[in-house]
Structures are given as C-alpha cells and as structure tokens.
C-alpha cells in the first residue's frame, strides 16, 4: 500500500523508483561479484558445482514485466553460459501441460512473489519434480518459499503498479546467474572479468541516463499525443522494445506494439504512417547496420522515428544516446530511457501514473 512508504519528495512513486535505480542495482550486486576469479557468488541458489554444470536447458516463467525481464535473462544465459534458454508467460505455461525435464533449470520471476499464475506454475513444476529457482524481490513471499533457492533482488519495496526498478534488478540478477552458470562451463576468465567490470559500471551509467530526463520529457510530450506507437528492436533489443511498449500502454494508455525490427516487413509495415511513430532500439552491436536499414524503410513510409541507442543517426527524427557498456549488458541500460519516456507521456496526458486504471500491483487471483 502506497501510504506506508515515503515518496521521497517525488511527485509520483514511479519517478522515485526510476530515480533510485543507481542504488537498487548496486544493492542487487552487493557482495555478489568476485573480482579475483571473475565469478558471481549466489549462495541462495543452494546448488553445488556439479549440479550447476548439469543443466542442459533453462526455462524462465513470469507474468507481465517479469516475463519480459525473463526474456532479457534468457538472452543473457544463452550468450554467457551457452545454455539454450527461453522465457514464457507463467499463465500460459501452467495450462499447456509442459514437459518437465530433470536437466532443465526452471526460473520463476516475480517482484511481489505472490502472483497467482506464477505461484501455480511453480507448484505444478515441483509436483512433477522440476528444479525451480526464484528471482524475487519480496523476502519470504510465497514464490520465495516454494522455490528450491534463488536470488533476492534487494531492490526495496516497489509501490507504483508499473514495474521499473524490479525489472532492471531482475535483469541484473540474470546477468549474475548467467555469469555464475557460464564460469563453471565455457565462459573464459577474460570474459568473466569483462562482465564483472561491466556490471560494476551500471550504477554510474544509470545516473548518467537519469540526467537526460529533461530532454526525454520534451520527447514524451512531442510523441505522446499519437494514437499509437510502434517499438522495434532485434535480438538483444527486442525485450527492451517489449518492456518499453508495456510501460507506455500501462501508464499512458497509448496503444503500443512491440515487434522485432526484422519482422516489420512481414506485416506491421502496413501500419507505418506519420500517425504511428516508432521507437527504435538500436544498440551499437553487430546488427547496427541492419537496424539502420530498417529505419530507412520506416522513413520511406513517412514514419517518425525516435531512436534509442549509442549514437545519433540521420535516419531518425530524434535520438536518445545512452552510455555504452558490454554488448550483453547494454539492454539493461537501454530500458531506462523508455521508463522515463512512458512516465512523462503519462504525466503529459494527465494519467493516474501510480495507479493506472484496470491494473493491480500484484494479481493474486487467477
């Protein structure tokens, strides 16, 4: 209940929670990085090295933003630990009689630890002998109790209905898990060090992104009166686009759709017009040129483009440039400006930012 926590002088809890992310990320990392061996210490997993090496697949489940953070996590695990990983909405997973395998590591994500669909999926997995970890914010919550072990976010209470700091801390927890799994498998000490150092840079870089708030507010005002927005990204950028679209629709009620940029030409390009601007997630990675080509295709259909990436480009109408980290960790940073964008769009449209219509902070019934 919002009444129990101090809003820290911010007009909305959402802005407070966005703004405290340099600290909440530092808390998720605290005591968990080992700079000598370039590994992560995750005592709460309750898994020995042999078990940690035994998994051949990772399946991640969660609802809403937790599911999107799980998609970001799957990408991190595949890249760093080279274990096939994917995410699925817990609500769907538990209804399709999933095959539960002993060499699959199941990971349930939940800020509250009380989401009914996620809890029921965990219980079903356990009934069938699945090994389930939790990535949870609320200590002692139902999902924390039902799982075999896990990672607490330590992000502090999240009051605003739309998730921000829990999403980012979950992605950071996944980077730690991926480092942990990777370093007892194929990940080299040099790559382990690169990721450890990248993780340590995150809080300062988030601070830098927060200084862009005035500019993001102007951009939100400029774009918020559109009837809808398209969010596109590829591979690492796709979960960023999905979470960006989710934030916008939840709190501003502007229709937003997320698509892999590569799939635009197979359908949604038909929607592109000056009335449907696109937010394009364009990191400096191996897909940069392909992404810029897609922007050209949107431009050719008179679509307006707000690019979020590591450089400016003539292919876009507006650009938000964020600091660069390691490619695997960049999605975490690219998400932050989209939180501010959604927040300021909602404020510009005079929405009930912390308590959006029809939504609950935690859905504890089916």
Whether 333 and 202 have beta carbons less than 8 Å apart is answered as yes
How near is the Cβ of 161 to ligand G6P at its closest, in Å? Answer: 5
Strands 228-233 and 278-282, sheet pairing: parallel
Whether 229 and 256 have beta carbons less than 8 Å apart is answered as yes
The tokens 């075999």 sit on which residue? Answer: 148
Give the whole-angstrom CA distance, residue 78 versus residue 87: 12
Closest CB to ligand G6P among residues 111, 169: 111
Residue of 218, 217, 169, 242 whose CA lies nearest to 343: 217
3-state secondary structure (DSSP) of residue 122: helix
Question: Residue 207 class from Cβ within 10 Å (0-12 exposed, 13-18 middle, 19+ buried)?
Answer: middle
> What residues are labeled active site?
361
Whether 316 and 290 have beta carbons less than 8 Å apart is answered as no
Closest CB to ligand G6P among residues 110, 294: 110
Closest CB to ligand G6P among residues 158, 191: 158
Give the whole-angstrom CA distance, residue 15 versus residue 288: 31
Closest CB to ligand G6P among residues 164, 294: 164
The tokens 């999107």 sit on which residue? Answer: 68
How near is the Cβ of 182 to ligand G6P at its closest, in Å? Answer: 25
Closest CB to ligand G6P among residues 104, 115: 115
How near is the Cβ of 121 to ligand G6P at its closest, in Å? Answer: 11
Residue of 294, 249, 245 whose CA lies nearest to 272: 294
Closest CB to ligand G6P among residues 109, 261: 109
How near is the Cβ of 362 to ligand G6P at its closest, in Å? Answer: 5
Residue of 331, 330, 329, 304 whose CA lies nearest to 319: 304
Distances (CA, A) of 346 to 84, 188, 252, 281: 38, 44, 4, 21
Closest CB to ligand G6P among residues 215, 355: 355
Give the whole-angstrom CA distance, residue 227 versus residue 322: 27
Give the whole-angstrom CA distance, residue 283 versus residue 180: 25
How near is the Cβ of 137 to ligand G6P at its closest, in Å? Answer: 7
How near is the Cβ of 351 to ligand G6P at its closest, in Å? Answer: 15
Distances (CA, A) of 269 to 95, 145, 192, 257, 302: 33, 46, 40, 12, 11
The contact set with ligand G6P (CB under 6 A) reads 63-66, 110-112, 115, 118, 161-163, 359, 361-363
How near is the Cβ of 245 to ligand G6P at its closest, in Å? Answer: 13
Give the whole-angstrom CA distance, residue 7 versus residue 161: 14
How many alpha carbons fall within 13 Å on the CB side of residue 271? 18
């Amino acid at each position: 209940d919002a009444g129990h926590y101090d809003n820290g002088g911010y007009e909305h809890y959402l802005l407070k929670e966005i703004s405290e992310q340099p600290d909440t990320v530092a808390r998720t990392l605290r005591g968990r990085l080992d700079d000598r061996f370039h590994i992560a210490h995750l005592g709460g997993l309750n898994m020995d090295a042999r078990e940690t090496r035994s998994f051949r697949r990772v399946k991640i489940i969660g609802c809403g933003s937790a599911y999107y953070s799980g998609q970001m996590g799957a990408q991190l695990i595949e890249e760093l630990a080279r274990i096939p990983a994917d995410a699925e909405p817990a609500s769907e997973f538990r209804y399709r009689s999933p095959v539960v395998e002993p060499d699959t590591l199941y990971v349930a994500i939940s800020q509250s630890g009380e989401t009914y669909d996620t809890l029921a999926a965990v219980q079903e997995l356990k009934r069938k002998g699945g090994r389930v970890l939790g990535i949870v914010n609320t200590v002692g919550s139902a999902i924390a109790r039902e799982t075999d072990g896990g990672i607490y976010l330590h992000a502090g209470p999240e009051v605003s209905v739309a998730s921000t700091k829990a999403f980012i801390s979950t992605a950071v927890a996944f980077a730690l898990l991926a480092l942990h799994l990777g370093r007892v498998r194929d990940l080299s000490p040099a790559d382990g060090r690169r990721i450890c150092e990248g993780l340590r840079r995150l809080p300062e870089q988030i601070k830098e992104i927060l200084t862009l708030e005035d500019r993001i507010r102007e951009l939100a005002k400029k774009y918020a009166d559109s009837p809808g927005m398209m969010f596109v990204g590829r591979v690492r950028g796709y979960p960023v686009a999905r979470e960006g679209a989710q934030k916008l629709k939840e709190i501003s009620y502007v229709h937003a759709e997320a698509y892999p940029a590569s799939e635009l030409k197979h359908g949604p390009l038909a929607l592109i017009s000056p009335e449907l601007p696109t937010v394009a997630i364009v990191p400096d990675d191996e897909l940069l040129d392909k992404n810029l080509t897609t922007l050209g295709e949107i431009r050719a259909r008179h679509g307006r483009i707000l690019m979020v990436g590591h450089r400016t480009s003539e292919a876009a109408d507006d650009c938000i440039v964020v600091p660069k980290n390691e490619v695997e960790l960049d999605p975490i940073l690219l998400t932050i400006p989209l939180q501010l964008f959604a927040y300021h769009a909602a404020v510009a449209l005079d929405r009930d930012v912390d308590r959006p219509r029809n939504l609950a902070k935690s859905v504890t019934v089916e």
